[in-house]
Amino acid sequence: MAGFTTRAIHAVHNLEKNAIVPPIYLASTFIQPSDGTPGEYEYQRGSNPTRTAVETTLAQLENAQYSYVYSSGMGASSAALGLVRNGETLLMGMPSYGGNYRFATIELPKRGAHVKFIADFTTLSDEDFSDNVTMVFLETPTNPTLKVSDITRISQIAHRNGAIVVVDNTFLTPYLQRPLELGADITVQSATKYLSGHADLLGGVASTNNPELAEELHKAQLILGGILPPADSYRLLQNVKTLGLRLERQQENAQRLIQAIKKHPAVDCILYPGSASAEETKIQSQQAQGQGAVFSFILAEGHDIQKFIEALNIFSFAVSLGGIESLVCLPATMTQGAYTQEHLDMFGVHPRLIRVAVGIEDYEDLLEDFTTALNAS
């Protein structure tokens, strides 16, 4: 099999007039055969050649048979979480992205479904599946505490009890971690983040090797209509070609920055994949090819968060991650702002916890900017 970046560039060869990149098909509808048989494409909501091109590419990168793109990361997560039906129970790993939390706590109850939060998947056992559990949904590493869970072990337990496993792989992408190869049934990602990588489009992707689940994921596009438009599909198709190059640089910058600031007096503790324990370090090394480019830290008591933020010049204070630019945010009031105070406390989203998404800028500039801000705090 060709390498990751080679596949990202050459997965589709739908060229016209010897152009090196595929065209954008903006058509909302397509002419149909006069004999009444369906054409390959009928209406943009159902399918579109440009969207097919990016879905084909993403499927190859995931080593999946099926990938479907949506108008946002929550479109992909909602398509997967929406598989939990009336009377069924979802096991959701915590902490989880605030949008997924909203779906589990607001939307699922409307549908007569239930959710049970799991703070530590190392304790997962058959006993957790007693209440008609049909799905386990997890992020590894978690947002924003970067805790690591064993995808293979969780999948084995879930499948033994008739449940499917959905992994949000936004932080690592298929470049560093491929949950379907580890036993997961569906993987979802916010394509807004690393897959696109330039903070200029919203998108999401869900992938699977299960044809029945694939049909349900496609129905979410067709029925709910949250599809990725052709122009955005094209941009995502082009941007994902540089994912490996970007993520290598971002990961290197993040690792160097972690080592440089971890003993700074303004840093109370620093969190990154594998930092919680030797067991998590081992799991991360077994199921992923790196730590990614996101870390979090708790600003020490006596230091002022606002002064830290205001002293930053290169790092921007904004939600999101995965772009070429470096960002910081306060999860307790931003990405996890939908949490109840009880859940913020219960799942380790500390009020002084700052999440850092590292970009591709020159490392020396990032270090100077970050150190200056820590000193100013």
Looking at the structure, tell me whether residues 85 and 195 fall in a common domain: yes
- Which domain covers residue 332, as residue numbers? 243-376
CATH no. for residue 361? 3.90.1150.10
Looking at the structure, tell me whether residues 275 and 233 fall in a common domain: no
How far is the C-alpha of 363 from the C-alpha of 374, rounded, in Å? 16
Q: Please give the pLDDT value at position 73.
A: 97
Q: Please give the pLDDT value at position 14.
A: 62
Looking at the structure, tell me whether residues 206 and 125 fall in a common domain: yes
Looking at the structure, tell me whether residues 235 and 302 fall in a common domain: no
Q: Which residue numbers are catalytic?
A: 45, 97, 168, 193
Rounded average pLDDT per 10-residue block, the chain, 377 residues: 90 75 93 92 94 96 98 97 98 96 96 96 93 96 97 98 98 98 98 97 98 98 95 97 98 98 96 96 97 98 97 97 98 94 95 98 98 98
How far is the C-alpha of 159 from the C-alpha of 71, rounded, in Å? 30
How far is the C-alpha of 211 from the C-alpha of 200, rounded, in Å? 32
Looking at the structure, tell me whether residues 353 and 260 fall in a common domain: yes
Q: Provide the number of structural domains found in the chain.
A: 2
Domain final position from 242, 262, 293: 242
Q: Cα–chain-centroid distance for residue 202?
A: 12
Looking at the structure, tell me whether residues 200 and 314 fall in a common domain: no
Q: Please give the pLDDT value at position 76.
A: 98
pTM of the model: 0.96
Q: Please give the pLDDT value at position 187.
A: 98
- The sheet carrying 66-70 orders its strands as 66-70, 204-208, 186-190, 164-168, 133-139, 89-93, 114-118
Domain final position from 227, 242, 257: 242
Q: Please give the pLDDT value at position 21.
A: 86
Looking at the structure, tell me whether residues 299 and 213 fall in a common domain: no
